[in-house]
Amino acid sequence: MISAVVMSEPHAPLELRSFARPELEPGAILLRTLGSEVCGTDGHLWKGQLAGVPYPIIPGHVSVGRISALGPGEAPRDVDGVPLRVGQTVTFLDVYGTCGRCWYCTVGHATTRCPERKVYGVTLSASDGLLGGWAEYIHLKPGVHVIPLPDELDWRAFLSGGCGMPTALHAVTLGEIAFGDTVVVQGAGPVGLCAAVLAQLRGAGRVIVVGGPEARLAAATRFGADTVIDIGSTTPEERIAAVREATAGRGADVTIEATGVPSAVPEGMRLTRDAGRYVIVGQYTDAGETTFNPHLDLNQKHLDIRGCWGSDVGHVYRAVQVMARYGRIFPWTDLITREYGLAEAQAALEDVAAQRVVKALIVPRQT
Amino acid sequence: MISAVVMSEPHAPLELRSFARPELEPGAILLRTLGSEVCGTDGHLWKGQLAGVPYPIIPGHVSVGRISALGPGEAPRDVDGVPLRVGQTVTFLDVYGTCGRCWYCTVGHATTRCPERKVYGVTLSASDGLLGGWAEYIHLKPGVHVIPLPDELDWRAFLSGGCGMPTALHAVTLGEIAFGDTVVVQGAGPVGLCAAVLAQLRGAGRVIVVGGPEARLAAATRFGADTVIDIGSTTPEERIAAVREATAGRGADVTIEATGVPSAVPEGMRLTRDAGRYVIVGQYTDAGETTFNPHLDLNQKHLDIRGCWGSDVGHVYRAVQVMARYGRIFPWTDLITREYGLAEAQAALEDVAAQRVVKALIVPRQT
Amino acid sequence: MISAVVMSEPHAPLELRSFARPELEPGAILLRTLGSEVCGTDGHLWKGQLAGVPYPIIPGHVSVGRISALGPGEAPRDVDGVPLRVGQTVTFLDVYGTCGRCWYCTVGHATTRCPERKVYGVTLSASDGLLGGWAEYIHLKPGVHVIPLPDELDWRAFLSGGCGMPTALHAVTLGEIAFGDTVVVQGAGPVGLCAAVLAQLRGAGRVIVVGGPEARLAAATRFGADTVIDIGSTTPEERIAAVREATAGRGADVTIEATGVPSAVPEGMRLTRDAGRYVIVGQYTDAGETTFNPHLDLNQKHLDIRGCWGSDVGHVYRAVQVMARYGRIFPWTDLITREYGLAEAQAALEDVAAQRVVKALIVPRQT
Amino acid sequence: MISAVVMSEPHAPLELRSFARPELEPGAILLRTLGSEVCGTDGHLWKGQLAGVPYPIIPGHVSVGRISALGPGEAPRDVDGVPLRVGQTVTFLDVYGTCGRCWYCTVGHATTRCPERKVYGVTLSASDGLLGGWAEYIHLKPGVHVIPLPDELDWRAFLSGGCGMPTALHAVTLGEIAFGDTVVVQGAGPVGLCAAVLAQLRGAGRVIVVGGPEARLAAATRFGADTVIDIGSTTPEERIAAVREATAGRGADVTIEATGVPSAVPEGMRLTRDAGRYVIVGQYTDAGETTFNPHLDLNQKHLDIRGCWGSDVGHVYRAVQVMARYGRIFPWTDLITREYGLAEAQAALEDVAAQRVVKALIVPRQT
């Protein structure tokens, strides 16, 4: 029997349940889980803040495993087109079922808005099987996009970015950072920290992280932020003044929002220079409205604002390549504060919610 | 002596004053004015709603004239590099003095944010001479960018677009309309009408104009709008529903805001489809704040919003080419409701403010 | 029994063969063919100039039909997500089987380079059924992308563009024409003529068509080209001089190549201005090498050259919207020189190859 | 008196001449030269391979100096708008006189194609004064764009990139490298090495340098290239095979050409994957023609090729920011093989031409 953590409904204590080993269809894959991240979204799931979640679920959307078995028939292929083999260490895109046929997939080229997409660990139900990462094994349905980890990328290193890395990679790509730009990142959680790293890998001239608490700001500094600004001890006006002072009075060339707090958005507009670019990636749940001045904050500023939703195969594929290549410069695993067994999942959830840890992993078979 | 309309201070009645014929510096040009537009901005100037205006001013920023005299020395050249000649019918970029040296000019490539720029008829003072279009003659300082009107473009036809045409051309360019896109234009004033025309000249599949009053909506229809929605007789919810119904439930691919009303902005976000684009060009003066929901309206929508400020040489140059080429399809002069002599400038201002006219021209020597 | 034209092998006379009515799988569609275009590619197929063609084939890749029957189960949906119904008039993307899983589909976002794609009438075999348009009925396999024609777009009007319209739409999109640009189109066949039309629907300031013979140049003029240059009576130097003269000495802002002749490519580089853009869409078959000077023609020119291969769902969907919307301005059906019955297909092929017609249609049941 | 190196005509030995200290106009600056690079272009100048050079000239286009004196009146400002002061260490854009008024400056936004631009050390004559960097002092005319070096960027470190750094920055920007891309750089001279570094600062997943001789390839490796391929010991076919093998058979996502050899261009097309991007920056002089196959190499490949000419204020400004920020990772001064006094300029020229050095500097007052 296979053990998995089950979130039966919002606010209920997580449980360990046993599942039968699944029968694999042609094209399916069984992964023995090496690790799965604990993400802010898991906290939102537990608090019931996301719509359309088919509880009970097995949480855990970004995971790494070793291929334990393949379904009958021709071996499924990885994103590069190479047939997969038992024993390989792989990750996979948590988004499953993007249809490739709807208007958003074919005409709009906005696949993260495809209405058919489901997400492992979020919108796939435990009633349908081992479709989440906080489990000894994960059942990859036919068509799941699989990406092997290169030898030079340890699985823990990859998970230390978690879903924050492809999310930040999507946001930073939309930010279109130019060489030498000053980049402000609002928020020092996993998405913000990954954005601060990736801004350096776009040749930013200066990276300023605005956030807290202190442990996260220390991580930002360790990962190369030139300046950190503690939101706990500054006013919005002080933060705006500090960024302007660092930029000959102009403001940031590019700002990346990764906070989840509505009031961060008008502040971010003001942190950004005229004709700059502002990417909103942190407003993942509905936390209410905010106010702004369309003349001053947007029109006269000639400001470009981009909402950024979700990530897709390319973002995860590219995140893997980047993390494998730049581990010499960025000590990824330093982001991991603690690893938890399956039985400790409730503690992991609470530690993440309380911001006691930077990145927490669920590791089913700790060694 | 040369007659010119002078706005001595906000709210004061416009006056006719006499000016001496200016001495031309090398590179300067004296234009005999054929016509000058009356624009919504002139109303803002009269109400004192713009900062930094050096009253007294001669209003009139977009104008056409015949070259009456050239300064001594080598003849100045038009934008194509051809030397100018007395007798040519030309327009010119109202923005004067963009420095070409500051960070915004050289690194940011955002010349409309250059701090040195002044505007004929807006931020150049009557104390310094004939630096506005509501006058018998206009003094073009050395370095003003001059664009001859092609033979096939009548001067009245060009002025019927006024500054709305280059402004809309800038906004529609930022909108990056794809062939077949549904475009919603919020606002049926000169900028909105020009945007509705230009959307067709980007191959839009459907153009929907949301605005009023009825005369302007009739103009929108005459200029090719597929659908008009009267804001006077509909609620925001009804407008959003109408646009969704026309687009298989998705919303507009591209929305252009040209209203000046802050509450139009959150409505425009909701009129636009997920992963669509929304250009804000109408929030030209500070009319206060508005509220929106960053999660629903921006982040989850994967929406791209672009503030659009001012226009530059290229926009006017391109507007001239487009209006000359597509006069066969669009009867530009139909936009002109009435022409006013210099002595009737006050009436022109009031008719525009009251939206009694679509486009009003000041024509110093009516024939 | 169902009649279809079969090309059994290169150079062999076309034959009429009878096929049984196909059994429809779930998700499949049977179309009663209204018409199918004859395209230059059909000539290449007959001459054996394309690799990987599984003769025998039923030619005809862009077609329109009426839905005659749907496979069992849930009705397939059109690109907008609306369930299809018997009796609807539709076209479909000839490209079938794009995998949505390979690197080009998911990471490279270059779906026209997906190795799995097959094309109706080109790389699908008559041995596998009614998989081409020159037939009384066409069998759409499950997953073929279907686009209904709007009421305002007559099926003949849509076919008058043929595959030239989405191909040109792709090329013109890559050309990134700005308002007022001078656009040169090399070639006056269906792709070139469609490009000349679409350039106007991007607001080009001047459209120059370089090609021949006279009948095609006359069509170019009827469809709005400002200037036509006959390649039969001019030298490359004369053509370059003519374009420079029309553009203040600079050359075209954007050039679209649609000729199939290798020597057109270096000429096109020289027809284009410094820092302009040049799209190569006509080099569809291997017609040998050509020479150019990388310093003069490319590097010092700061020239941008874009090869353009194939088209995808979005291009056909957008072509349908554009043709439906702008039929008021462009009399599409004027492009059709002649319609041929199934039994006349050989004559159609020869008329197209000899450039005796602008656009030829196969119409199975002429009325 | 001020010593300067003068190139009186092509192929003539360089001479040391004495110049009077120049009288400074308002806005002018006198720099005491700290150092000036020796660039491949200087070899081209000496061989008479560039058109329009007003011999005699003082070579040296990219230089660093200390501000020795300012012209009368208001102090000129740096690119950030800050007034300059005597004693500051600065560099400047060698391109002088870009007009800001012609079509290329205002409409085309292609300032490197402005016909008015002159270049210090290249197209400004020694007859007009100290207008090149191989001199004890440099006379910056009013309007030259000046950029102070930040404290953390030693002047030698900045010069070790020389004009190769802004040139490569321009090329790499046009390359639009995405995170994780495989980038091939053709050429291991200063432009190629800088491109290899900058590709890493765009987050490339793999950087492959194709070039020679061995000393330069060793530098490429020291500066982070993942793979180097020696052109001396491989055939084009072997190089293409090596790149394909490293990329799952596809080829490079982005290729940057920095060789000056025409035959490198068709090879580069074949090194690049379908739908990839190829930037041509090294074909700086006319070295003749080359051949390619438009169908295979361009159209079917869906390849994007971009010629890249010159650089502008933004490129130098951004190069300064990037070099200041990433000196922790890249040991810039390792690129400098040797420094030469003014009297040794001829030897410097010959060492560069013979590729005996990676980067050579002229240092007027060696300490």
Domain end marker among C289, C307, C325: C307
- Give kind and range of the element (H or E) at residue B349: helix B345-353
Contact across the interface for B205 and C318, Cβ inside 8 Å: yes
DSSP state letter for C79: T
Give CA–CA dist B209/B221, Å, rounded: 9
Read off the pLDDT of each residue in B160-184 and give the average, rounded to a whole number.
Answer: 97
Cβ contact (<8 Å) for B309 and A287? no
Nearest residue of B to residue C181, measured between CA atoms: B318
DSSP codes joined into one string, C228-245:
EEEGGG--HHHHHHHHHH
State whether ipTM is beyond 0.85: yes
Q: Is A355 touching B (CB cutoff 8 A)?
A: no
* CA distance, residue A315 to nearest chain C CA (Å): 8
What is the maximal distance between C-alpha atoms in chain C?
A: 64
CB contact under 8 A, D81 and B103: yes
Read off the CATH number of the domain in which B272 is found.
3.40.50.720
What is the tens place of the pLDDT at every residue in C108-153? 999 988 999 999 999 999 999 999 999 999 999 999 999 999 999 9
Same domain for D39 and D23, yes or no, is yes
Chain A: partners with 3+ C-beta pairs within 8 Å = B, C, D
Q: Are D106 and B79 within 8 A, CB to CB? A: yes
Give the amino acid at B363. V
Mutate to test the interface with A, among B278, B286, B300, B315 (most CBs of A within 10 A): B300
Confidence at A367, pLDDT banded by 50, 70, 90: low
A-to-B residue pairs, Cβ atoms closer than 8 angstroms:
137
Q: Of A96, A107, A140, which to mutate for an interface test with C (greatest number of C Cβ within 10 Å)? A: A107
Task: State how far residue A30 is from chain C, nearest Cα, in angstroms.
Answer: 19
β partners of residue B19:
B2
Q: How many residues does chain B have?
A: 367
Task: Give the separation between CA C287 and CA D293, rounded to whole angstroms.
Answer: 8
Residues 295-324 of D with CB under 8 A from B: 312-314, 317-318
Contact call for B198 and C201, based on CB within 8 A? no
Q: How confident is the model at residue D365 (pLDDT cuts 50, 70, 90)?
A: confident
Residues 245-264 in C contacting B (C-alpha not used; CB under 8 Å): 248
Q: Specify whether the backbone of A164 is left (phi greater than 0), alpha (psi in -120 to 50) or beta.
A: alpha
Helix (H, G, I), strand (E, B) or coil at D222: helix
Of C293, C306, C309, the CB nearest to D288: C293
What number of C-beta contacts closer than 8 Å exist between B and D? 46
**3-state class (DSSP) for residue B38:** strand
Choice among A84-88, C109-113, D231-235 with the minimum mean pLDDT: C109-113
Which residues of chain A neighbour B308 with C-beta distances below 8 Å?
Answer: 299, 302
Residue C48, in any domain of the structure: yes
- pLDDT recorded at residue A365: 85
Residue A32: which of A131, A125, A139 has the closest Cα?
A: A139
C-alpha D81: how far from chain center: 25
User: How far is it, in rounded angstroms, from Cα D70 to Cα D30?
Assistant: 6
User: Which of D307, D326, D351 is the endpoint of a domain?
Assistant: D307
Task: Answer yes or no: is D367 within a domain.
Answer: no
Mean of per-residue pLDDT scores for chain C: 96
Q: A229 with A329, same domain?
A: no
Cα–Cα dist B313/B94, whole Å:
9
Comparing CA positions, the residue from A212, A55, A175, A168 lying closest to residue A121 is A55
Chain A residues with beta carbon closer than 8 angstroms to that of D80 = 248
Please give, rounded to a whole number of angstroms, the shortest distance from the CA of B106 to a CA of chain D: 6
Residue D261: pLDDT above 80?
A: yes
Predicted confidence (pLDDT) per residue in B32-41, tens digit: 999 999 999 9
| C-alpha dist (Å) from residue D125 to D118, D119, D122, D308 | 10, 10, 8, 26
B69-74 long-range CB contacts below 8 Å, 24 or more apart? B69/B24, B69/B29, B69/B30, B70/B24, B70/B28, B70/B29, B70/B30, B71/B24, B71/B25, B71/B26, B71/B27, B71/B28, B71/B29, B71/B142, B72/B24, B72/B26, B73/B26, B73/B27, B74/B26, B74/B27
Classify strands C137-140 and C118-119 as parallel, antiparallel or unpaired.
unpaired
The two counts, helices (H) then strands (E), for chain B are 11, 18
Q: What are the respective helix, strand and coil percentages of chain B, to the nearest 5? A: 30, 25, 45
- Once rounded to an integer, what is the mean pLDDT over residues D289-296? 98
pLDDT of residue D355: 87
Count how many pairs of residues, chain B against chain C, have C-beta atoms within 8 Å.
77
Asked if residue D154 and residue D9 are part of one domain, the reply reads yes
A265 and A149 co-located in one domain = no
**Does the structure show a pLDDT above 90 at B25?**
yes
**pLDDT over threshold 70, residue A366:** no
D281 touches chain C (CB under 8 A): yes
Residue of C328 and C35 predicted with greater confidence: C35
CATH of the domain at A127: 3.90.180.10
Confidence of residue C14 (pLDDT cuts 50, 70, 90): very high
Q: Tokens 């939703």 — which residue?
A: A309
Q: How many domains does chain A have?
A: 2
Contacts of D145 in chain B (CB under 8 A): 101, 106
- Chain D CB contacts of C281 below 8 Å: 299
DSSP A149: P
Q: Which residues contact C356 (CB under 8 A, 6 or more apart)?
A: C337
Same domain, B185 and B202: yes
The C-alpha atoms of residue A274 and residue C56 are separated, in whole angstroms, by 62
A168 & A63 share domain: no
Of C106, C312, C317, the CB nearest to A313: C106
Contact B101 D317 (CB under 8 A): no
Provide the pLDDT for residue C333. Answer: 96
Same domain, B153 and B11: yes
Read off φ and ψ for residue D67, nearest 5 degrees.
Answer: -70, 120
User: Chain B residues with CB inside 8 Å of C178's CB?
Assistant: 173, 318
Q: What is the pLDDT of residue B367?
A: 56
Q: Looking at the partner chain, which of C179, C226, C317 has a beta carbon nearest the beta carbon of B322?
A: C179
Chain B: partners with 3+ C-beta pairs within 8 Å? A, C, D
Which sign, positive or negative, has the C-alpha torsion B318, B321, B324, B329? negative
Please report whether residue D321 resides in a domain. yes
Question: Which residue of chain A comes nearest to B108, CA vs CA?
Answer: A275
C88-95 mean pLDDT:
97
Residue of D nearest to A198 (CA): D203
At D70, is the pLDDT very low, low, confident or very high (cuts 50, 70, 90)? very high
Mean pLDDT for B109-127 is 94
Instruction: Determine how β-strand B206-211 pairs with β-strand B182-186.
Output: parallel
How do B89-92 and C15-19 pair as beta strands?
A: unpaired
Q: Is the pLDDT of residue D8 over 70?
A: yes
Residue D202 tokens read as 């765009």
Q: pLDDT, tens digit, for every residue of A53-67?
A: 999 999 999 999 999
Closest chain A residue by Cα to residue D324: A205
- Partner B, chain C 144-203, Cβ-Cβ below 8 Å: 169, 172-173, 178-180, 198, 200-203
Instruction: Render B335-348 in DSSP notation, one character per residue.
Output: GEEEEE-GGGHHHH
Question: Is A180 within 8 Å of D206 when comparing Cβ atoms?
Answer: no
Mean predicted lDDT score pLDDT of chain A: 96
Residues 6+ away with beta carbon under 8 Å from B360: B37, B38, B336, B337, B338, B339, B340, B348, B351, B352
Instruction: Indicate the residue of B103, B248, B286 with minimum beta-carbon distance to A295.
Output: B286
pLDDT at D366: 61
Residue D59 lies in a domain: yes
- In angstroms, the CA C284 to CA C306 distance is 14
Verify that A145 and A169 share a domain, yes or no.
Answer: no
Q: Measured between alpha carbons, how far is A258 from A73 in angstroms, rounded to an integer?
A: 44
Report CB contact under 8 Å: D290, C288.
Answer: no
A207 inside domain:
yes
First vs last Cα of chain D: how many Å apart? 20
Judge: B309–A301 Cβ closer than 8 Å, yes or no: yes
Query: Which residues in chain C belong to E strands, given as ranges?
Result: 2-6, 15-19, 29-38, 63-70, 89-92, 95-96, 118-119, 137-140, 146-148, 182-186, 206-211, 227-230, 252-257, 272-280, 290-292, 304-307, 336-340, 359-362
pLDDT of residue C6: 98
What per-residue confidence (pLDDT) applies to B337?
92
The residue in chain A having the minimum alpha-carbon distance to the alpha carbon of residue B174 is A304
Q: What local confidence, expressed as pLDDT, does residue C118 receive? A: 95
Label residue B23 by pLDDT band (50, 70, 90): very high
Residue D198 lies in a domain: yes
Write out the E strands in chain D: 2-6, 15-19, 29-38, 63-70, 89-92, 95-96, 118-119, 137-140, 146-148, 182-186, 206-211, 227-230, 252-257, 272-280, 290-292, 304-307, 336-340, 359-362
Cβ neighbours of B44 in A, within 8 Å: none
- Please identify among residues 18-77 of chain A the ones whose CB lies closer than 8 Å to any CB of chain D: none
Contact A298 B307 (CB under 8 A): yes
Q: Which pLDDT does position B366 carry in this prediction?
A: 61
| Whether the predicted pLDDT of C170 surpasses 80 | yes
CB nearest A205 (choices: D206, D248, D322) = D322
Residues of the domain holding D114: 2-163+311-362
Q: Point out which residues pair with D18 in neighbouring strands.
A: D3
CA distance A159 to A323: 10
Whether C326 and chain D come into contact, CB under 8 Å, resolves to no
A9 and A86 together in one domain: yes
The model's pLDDT over B265-281, given as tens digits with 9 standing for 90+, comes to 999 999 999 999 999 99
Cβ–Cβ < 8 Å for C359, C335: yes
Residue A283 is classified by DSSP as -
pLDDT digit string, tens, across residues B178-215: 999 999 999 999 999 999 999 999 999 999 999 999 99
By Cβ distance, the residue of A286, A294, A300 closest to B296 is: A286
Does C331 contact A at CB distance below 8 Å? no
> Is D367's pLDDT higher than 60?
no
Query: Do D145 and D132 share a domain, yes or no?
Result: yes
Tokens 């000590």 label which residue?
A: A331
pLDDT exceeds 70 at position B332:
yes
Other beta carbons within 10 angstroms of residue D134's beta carbon come to 32
Burial D259-270 (b: 16+ CB within 10 A, else e): bbbbbbbbbbbb
A367 within some domain: no
C258-298 per-position pLDDT tens digit:
999 999 999 999 999 999 999 999 999 999 999 999 999 99
B263 → chain A, closest CA residue: A294
By CB atoms closer than 10 A (0-12, 13-18, 19+), residue C282 is buried
Model pLDDT for residues A141-177, shown as the tens digit of each residue = 999 999 999 999 999 999 999 999 999 999 999 999 9
Give percent of chain B above pLDDT 70: 99
Q: List chain C residues with CB under 8 Å of D294.
A: 262, 265, 280, 283, 289-290
Residues of B in contact with C179 (CB under 8 A): 169, 172-173, 198, 201, 318-319, 321-322
Backbone angles phi, psi at A30, to 5 degrees: -105, 125
Judged by a CB distance cut-off of 8 A, whether residue C103 touches chain A is yes
Q: Is residue D197 part of a domain?
A: yes
**B282/B357 same-domain check:** no
Q: Are C256 and C184 in contact (CB under 8 A)?
A: yes
Interface test with A, best of D172, D179, D202 (most A CBs within 10 A): D179
User: How is chain C split among helix, strand and coil, in percent rounded to 5?
Assistant: 30, 25, 45
Residue in A179, A201, A318 closest to D169 by CB: A179
The vertex-B35 CA angle with B32 and B37, nearest 5°, equals 135
Do D79 and D118 lie in one domain? The reply is: yes
